[in-house]
Amino acid sequence: MNPLLDFSGLPRFAEIKPEHVAPAIEQLLAENRALITRLLSDSAPPAWQDFIVPMENANERLSRAWGPVGHLNAVMNSPELREVYNATLPKITQYYAELGQNLALFQKFKALHNSPEFAGLSVARKKIIENELRDFRLGGAELPEDKKARYLEIQERLAELSSRFSDNLLDATNDYTLVVENRGELSGLPEDVLQAAQEAAVAAEKTGWLFTLKAPSYMPVMQFADNRALRETMYRAYGTRASEFGKPEWDNTKLMDEIVQLRGEEASLLGFANFGELSLAAKMAESPQQVVTFMRELAQRARPFAEKDLVELREFARAELGLQELQSWDIGYASEKLREQRYAFSEQEVKQYFPEDAVLPGMFKLVETLYGLQINASSAPSWHDDVRFFDIRDAQGQLVGQFYLDMYARNSKRGGAWMDDVITRRRVQTTGGRGQRTEGIQTPVAYLNCNFSPPVGGKPAVFTHDEVITLFHEFGHGLHHLLTEVEDLAVSGINGVEWDAVELPSQFMENFCWEWDVLHGMTRHSETNEKLPRALFDKMLAAKNFQSGLQTLRQIEFALFDMLMHSNFEAGGANGDRNTLLEKPDGCESGRPAAPPAPEGSAPPCRSDILQLLDEVRAEVAVLIPPAFQRFPHSFSHIFAGGYAAGYYSYKWAEVLSADAYSLFEENGVLNPDVGARFRSEVLAMGGSRGAMQSFAAFRGREPSIDALLRHNGLLETS
């Protein structure tokens, strides 16, 4: 049997080959289309059991076949897999676009919504039908046929462009290596980083130390290397990935322009003024202007702190490091030195207290305490020897969920950290002997992926505190998927949750990384086995909001750029009136060259490109301006190859919710199992079966307030 067509349990990763993909997907697409035809030909009034359930079953099979393919393409990328993935992706895209545009199917859902049965359905099932009606409208079901055809073309092209964007970034990142043969040029770098670089050189049959643009290699260089020229070399390579400065076939410039143009055309076809409005139609935020106003107000609160951060950093760099002019490749290095001086500790010192074999049990113990669970190592077929697998059970020993954990960086794996679903919780019916039907609950399963440094020298991997926070963040996403109690697929786990609320459980988990009662139990020095000293923790806590003003403005810069690009901007064409959102009538405040000179006496025209827009956003909200050669958008996968287009603001939006939710734990005890049970039942368990604001209010007893976020980030004068 084709392993992709086996839905009896977990994916059979050890057996999946590129040649399995096309036959499996083509068979399922044919079966699904035949089912849709049969359902539409049925003259009986649509009912949940006879109409929704068969379609849900069919689409879940397709998702469970395609999911492992997409996952392997992200974590075990190879030329053969990439080729078949990119060849099959348009077929998947076309199928879902066809469903969204099927007017007859839309009419069936409307008939079910208006039927007597609807009133008796559960809240979750009513929400599913209402979401479907909304999504049919957003998917172009009511468009005339000629516009439907164009909409389908746009969806297929966007899927292709996004995949190419991701491939280009991966290839450009993997292509760059820097070999240093003189040990004297590497002063300041920690020993474990040097050992990893030496092992990488040996693996590449080189002498010396080999560095790459992957985070575990790149970030320590920028943070610790005394060699300024080395930092600049690495910064330039990293900041110009997948741009015109590299190989032409990996340049994402034209892809970005076309992606933004096509999204704008898609929005116009559906009757929206811009893609930002289309994106927000299924989110908590009501309009692009509301998002822009929110980000600007937050920027105003953060800017005085950011300006103070920068003044302090420049003065320190000049006085202590001899850096008369602070460059972008000096920021991480100077910041680390300032942190060490001010708080008398270094990130490298802290890192030694967070070996993997202490961090994981500590994180699991926290979750077990809060939610009354048991987490134990288990086994399952996987895609790499580094992957681990775990069971989550309740207090009675019943299996609640399972997850894969893939923590280390490698060449075949895309960068970043993310959670994805493998199997979603739902109530399923199975047919046994003599046609008897039995019901049961399908166990949810998740992927948790990070890009940390692998173990070196035969010792467990050690994590920076930031990496510990990242791990907690992704586990928060995982718990949102795994601890749902909803039994209907389309609103179970993270399904159906508004995109700007999906970060609530993940950011909520980050808060525990700053609690002594949590951290102390998950530390062990990699050499001495001693626990994290309270004195060092107090220094970490004192430094918690070090440069939080700069960090907040950086996130706002990205979010504002994203929303403006998708709401009032034409890539590669005329600006239109995009400056009405920027509120800069002259609009050309940028260090980047303008278009060719205008006639004498007239205002110079702005270059109407994506980089120009980013320059204008930076001129408004940033205090740190990168050099002109930097090409950040070319690697901004969240919005060009992920699900965050006109949605990057979600991180700050959801951080308001998460900080305020966590404040209830602060008021009642951060390890309070009663508050934990309430968070589990009102937020994690509910999935997308009700609005995120309803779930928040049910947990917190009121609407959210921004005060907790400002307090947590040290952005209040009294904090």
Task: Classify 496 as helix, strand or coil.
Answer: coil
What was the pLDDT predicted at 581? 40
Please give the mean pLDDT across all residues of the chain.
93
DSSP 428: E
What pLDDT score does 571 carry? 59
**% of the chain exceeding 90 in pLDDT:** 91
Q: Are 649 and 293 in contact (CB under 8 A)?
A: no
Write out pLDDT tens, residues 215-243.
999 999 999 999 999 999 999 999 999 99
Task: Say which of 132, 474, 487, 510 is annotated catalytic.
Answer: 474
Indicate the burial class of 440 (C-beta count within 10 angstroms; 0-12, 13-18, 19 or more): exposed
**What pTM was computed for the model?**
0.90
Interval 116-164: pLDDT, tens: 999 999 999 999 999 999 999 999 999 999 999 999 999 999 999 999 9
Instruction: Give the 3-state secondary structure of residue 687.
Output: coil
């599913």: which residue's tokens?
128
Amino acid at 178: L
Position 435 scores a pLDDT of 58
472/565 Cα distance (integer angstroms): 31
Contact 408, 454 (CB under 8 A): yes
State the average pLDDT over residues 431-439. 64
Mean pLDDT across 346-363: 96
The CATH code that applies to domain 355-497 is: 3.40.390.10
pLDDT recorded at residue 568: 83
Domain boundaries, the chain: 3-142, 176-241, 355-497, 650-712
Q: Per residue in 461-510, pLDDT tens?
A: 999 999 999 999 999 999 999 999 999 999 999 999 999 999 999 999 99
SS3 671: coil
Helix 650-668 vs helix 692-700: crossing angle, to nearest 10: 20
pLDDT at res. 350? 96
CA distance 259 to 270: 17
Whether the per-residue pLDDT at 513 is higher than 60: the answer is: yes
Please indicate whether residue 667 is annotated as part of the active site. Answer: no
- Residue 534's pLDDT is 97
* Interacting residues of 529 by C-beta distance below 8 A, sequence separation 6+: none
What is the DSSP code string of 325-387?
A: S--GGGHHHHHHHHHHHHHS--HHHHHTT-BHHHHHHHHHHHHHHHHTEEEEEE----SSTT-
**CA 150, CA 145: separation in Å to the nearest integer?**
9
Return the CATH class of domain 3-142: mainly alpha
For residue 600, the model assigns a pLDDT of 37
What's the CA gap between 474 and 448, in Å, rounded?
Answer: 6
Query: Poorest-confidence range of 202-211, 231-240, 288-297, 587-596?
Result: 587-596
Region of poorest pLDDT, from 38-47, 392-401, 703-712: 703-712
pLDDT band at 438 (very low <50, low <70, confident <90, very high): confident
> Side chain identity at 126, as an amino acid letter?
K
pLDDT tier at 584, thresholds 50, 70, 90: very low
Tell me what pLDDT residue 602 has: 32
What is the reported pLDDT for 95? Answer: 97
Find out whether 447 and 420 touch, Cβ atoms under 8 Å: yes
Predicted local distance difference test score (pLDDT) of residue 83:
97
Q: What is the 3-state secondary structure (H, E, C) of 558-619?
A: HHHHHHHHCCCCCCCCCCCCCHHHHCCCCCCCCCCCCCCCCCCCCCCCCCCCHHHHHHHHHH
For 52-107, what is each residue's pLDDT tens digit? 999 999 999 999 999 999 999 999 999 999 999 999 999 999 999 999 999 999 99
| H or E element that contains 429 | strand 426-431
pLDDT of 604 higher than 80: no
With a cut of 80, say whether residue 436 has pLDDT above it: no
pLDDT of 716: 82
Per-residue buried b or exposed e for 232-256, using 16+ beta carbons within 10 Å of the residue's own CB? ebbbebbbbbbbeebeeebbbbebb
